[in-house]
Amino acid sequence: MSSVETFSLDDIMALRVRVLRKGTPVTHAQYPEDSYADVVHFGIARDGDVVATSTWFSKECPLQPGVPAIQLKGMAVDDHLQTGGLGRALIDTGMEHARAASAHIVWARARDSAMGFYERCGFVSVGDGFIDEPTGMPHHIVIRTV
């Protein structure tokens, strides 16, 4: 198994666009939260290329106001490597990061098509579904207790 490392935004952007914007009208994957002071981009590289990534930062969950939280965003694994454990490794590392940050929960805006993955990683869907504006795809908020 490849090890999880931290990467710069530039290092992960091509993967984000390739995986998260495929089949959508949007051609960029830069988020406002990428500029947060505490943002961290975890990733896994193979042969010098980042093949899996996720971004983590402090941000209150709209469904649990006042609870110390870390948001997970930009979860992407190269299509041909999905189901190989890379996503789980990123989640495990991110959960360690959330514990160190004294967060009580980790939350994400999960694509409905990835809901099985999040559930296998211990997340629970909360609230009503919604259509994510940049992608036009159905999503739900998922939460995992730290």
Which candidate, 79, 77, 136, 95, places its Cα nearest to that of 112?
136
* Tens of pLDDT, residues 113-133: 999 999 999 999 999 999 988
* 3-class DSSP assignment, residue 119: helix
What CATH number is attached to the domain comprising 94? Answer: 3.40.630.30
Question: What is the pTM (predicted TM-score) of this model?
Answer: 0.94
Percent of the chain topping pLDDT 70 = 99
As for how many domains the chain has, the answer is 1
DSSP 21: S
Going from the C-alpha of 115 to that of each of 42, 70, 120, the distances in angstroms are 21, 19, 9
* Tens of pLDDT, residues 86-102: 999 999 999 999 999 99
Going from the C-alpha of 19 to that of each of 28, 50, 59, 118, 136, the distances in angstroms are 11, 12, 24, 17, 15
What is the extent of the structural domain holding 114? Answer: 5-145
Euclidean distance between CA atoms 76 and 51, whole angstroms: 8
